[in-house]
Structure 1
Amino acid sequence: MDCSRLEYIKNVNDDGDWAYESYPIGAYFPLNFKKNNDGGVDNHAFNLPKGSLIILSQKRSGYERLLTHVVELVNEGSEDKPQWETDTWGIFRWVKVHWIADFNNPSRIPLDKKEMRANWGWFDTKAKLLSSPSLMEQWVSIDKLKAHLEEVFN
């Protein structure tokens, strides 16, 4: 997989299952963002650039946080926003799956803290830049991180 457009990592969770597990490579689905009261998530989701790749990281009961998907934003925020709803999970962006973990073999799913080499808080569902200071502290350059992730996802 070409990781040159890999720009973000995003926390996702499902109460009992792996989130988005049923979507194979090439499938499209609405990637949810949890609404907050200040409107910051709305603005954040709206402004994520079309074509960017996002790693999805999730923690399921009994497991550490794992890297489970790489998805591409397929629309501009202005194309998705008219479909948004007012409930807690009504904010979304349409994405296409480029890579998905083998959920039948969880021991082979890449471990977030091992592959990303960063310990960060997961207090919201905003997508975080891979070029963030916490990651660049470990990787020095985004190119080194992307080269490493290309090996992980191939």
Structure 2
Amino acid sequence: MAGTGGSRAATSTTVTYAWRGEFDSADVEALHGEGFGHRPVAYDWFAQVSRHSLGWVCAYRDARLIGFVNVAWDGAGHAFILDTVVSADEQHRGVGARLVALATQHARDAGCEWLHVDFEPHLRAFYLESCGFTAADAGLIRLTPGA
């Protein structure tokens, strides 16, 4: 596996979670492709998150990566939840909420004051009810042509 080692601390008998856990970029890309509806491509996720993120959380069932969330930040008080994804066969079991809870705790421990997330309407209940985010006004400019 590529990556820096985070410890894999068990939170249940079958799923383990790790802050800055080890992963293969191809495994994250496969999850991302499945979750966001695109064909996986060769992408170096490890280089990207290592360079630009406060950290990330991985969820594993045995040795299989089943979930991932990236915590980007501004280097100061603001962190951002990105790329939350759980494999389709593991959804609706609390894995995503646990990923976000661990990301939240590590952002808090790093001294961040705010944790941001944006999401599509069908994920509103997940982020607001399951993860404890509060709805807020925000702005967005699309920088590339839409589909």
Instruction: Work out whether the TM-score is over 0.5.
Output: no
Q: TM-score w.r.t. structure 2 length?
A: 0.26
Which structure has more RCO (C-alpha within 8 Å, separation ≥ 6)? 1
Q: Which has the higher helix share?
A: 2
